[in-house]
Amino acid sequence: MTTPVLSVRDLVVEIPTRRGVLRPVDRVSFDIAAGEILGVVGESGAGKSMTGNAVIGLLDPPARIARGEVLLSGQPIQNIGREALRRLRGKRMGMIFQDPLTSLNPLLTVGEQLTETILEHMPVGNAEARRRAIAALEEVGIPAAAARIDSYPHEFSGGMRQRVVIALALCAEPDLVIADEPTTALDVSVQAQIVALLKRLCRERGVAVMLVTHDMGVIAEAADRVAVMYAGRLAEIGPVREVLTAARHPYTAGLMASTPLAGHGRRRLRQIPGAMPRLGALPPGCAFHPRCDRAEARCRQDPTPRVEDCGGRAACWFPLAAPADRQEAGA
């Protein structure tokens, strides 16, 4: 197997506070291969953004990577230093944020922001940088790119601005893109277009994409694999079909049951009772056990399970059975 573009190994992010050390990301591991989209889902506060920021080296102090490894094409980058990390950002890994309205500098033209980024990372002159900037805008589907390159961000609509943001994140041709809820702030009508664009760029360029989202529809549409986070930990990870249709972790199952999914018609939605615990008040053992109807003594007493400790799919001592097993049980 070829080396994955991104490999995260037992990543721990800590925030020291007066009332103890918080762990918004706790021993999380996953890989993303070239040309693959890993969807990351979970409730607000589950640690999705923290994970993405840790990977790209943009954690806001006092948050910091306390343990674990981030490997970019096999090379560890979690402690290579500020300047070395800066050189990798943009060039080897890009990031797309939630709100295209606030992601672009209002006082600089789209072209200025693009050429500045290209000149920073590529060995080209001004004219060539401008040519590439126009090409980047064309590639993300901005009509009349050559004419609009000197426009300011406010002259574009929300959907167009998110395209510009994507062009900016990709203009220095990174191998990895972290998209943190790239469609959440957009009109429903343009969300699908942006997802389709991301998917196309991923396939055409072989970029590895970490796609953080609340939206199960987006996951079902775009992701190859999906990771489910809960209270800073990875609850489940696997191929998108399997996770969506046959969840192993009770939390994932609960999440699916509470989410309306296209193609499933009218289903009764069931909410998981209770709420995700705050980081400062995590229960011992599996963080989900107080809300879980399958919980047993082991879930409270044993150390927090990781996906790797439980067969590589779900971080659960008593996972739901795989479909094959279920059929056998039913027969």
Q: Please report, as ranges, the residues that interact with other proteins according to CB under 8 A.
A: 56, 58, 86-91, 94-95, 97, 99, 102-109, 116-117, 120-121, 142-143, 151-152, 154-157, 159-160, 165, 168-169, 172, 189-190
Element (H, E) at 300: helix 297-301
Q: Which residue from 5, 6, 8, 15 is in contact with ligand ADP, where contact means CB under 6 A?
A: 15
With respect to ligand ADP, which residue has the nearer C-beta, 16 or 125?
16
Closest separation in Å from C-beta 145 to other proteins: 11
How many residues lie near ligand ADP (CB under 6 A)?
Answer: 13
Beta carbons of 180 and 212 less than 8 angstroms apart = yes
Interface with ligand ADP, residue 119, by CB under 6 A: no
Interface with Mg ion, residue 49, by CB under 5 A: yes
Interface with ligand ADP, residue 250, by CB under 6 A: no
Phi–psi pair at 112, nearest 5 degrees: -60, -45
Mask for 24-63, x = binds ligand ADP (CB under 6 A)? x-----------------x-xxxxxxx-------------
Closest separation in Å from C-beta 2 to Mg ion: 30
How many residues lie near Mg ion (CB under 5 A)?
Answer: 1
The Cα 306–Cα 119 span in angstroms is 43
Contacts of 28 (CB under 8 A, 6+ apart): 8, 10, 11, 47, 51, 68, 229, 232, 233, 234
The CA–CA distances, whole Å, from 231 to 22, 195, 228, 283 equal: 11, 26, 10, 10
With respect to ligand ADP, which residue has the nearer C-beta, 97 or 156?
97
Q: Which part of the chain contacts ligand ADP (CB under 6 A), choosing from 16-24, 91-99, 219-227, 245-253?
A: 16-24
DSSP-assigned beta bridge partners for residue 227? 40, 237
Strand runs (DSSP E) across the chain, as ranges?
Answer: 6-17, 20-32, 37-41, 64-72, 75-76, 93-96, 176-180, 208-212, 225-230, 233-239
Interface with ligand ADP, residue 22, by CB under 6 A: yes
User: By the criterion CB under 5 A, which residues form the site for Mg ion?
Assistant: 49
